[in-house]
Amino acid sequence: MAIQQKNKLRPDDEINQSRIAADQRKDERIISHAPIIIAPFSTRFHREYASMTFNHSRNGMCLEAAEPFKPGYVLYIRLGNAPVDQVYHGTRKHLRTSTLAEVKWCREFRDNFSTYYRIGVKYY
């Protein structure tokens, strides 16, 4: 079980002392890799995106997605269909099965194959 310590590192685990001092997190971060489905919470359009948790806490989560979402968007998030015991690494503590959450930040990442986004959300 990997639990991030109270040193409050950025979600991408890169150490940057100025960002650590300004970090507003109050809860422990639990490293997780559970499949989730995210959808913008809107009555006008309905589109779902497959995603994956990166870490989570009592009040929010960091997820990885192929699409960016701007701060202020409201997302409906629910656990995906894959058996949790096969894909989940860590503890289920504080991981919600479904929730509404507000996007607080979104960062772009690139690897050798694609571009993806880490998105921080706060639960309602």
Q: How many domains does the chain have?
A: 1
Residue 81 lies in a domain: yes
CATH of the domain at 106: 2.40.10.220
Kindly give the pairing relationship between strand 98-110 and strand 49-56: unpaired
Residue 24 lies in a domain: no
Residue 23 lies in a domain: no
- Per-residue confidence in pLDDT tens, the chain, 124 aa: 444 444 344 454 554 444 444 455 577 888 888 899 999 997 677 889 999 999 988 899 999 999 999 999 999 999 887 555 544 555 566 678 889 999 999 999 998 989 999 999 999 9
Residue 84 lies in a domain: yes
Query: Which residues constitute the domain of residue 81?
Result: 31-123
Residue 72 lies in a domain: yes
Structure tokens at 33: 């890799």
| pTM of the full structure | 0.71
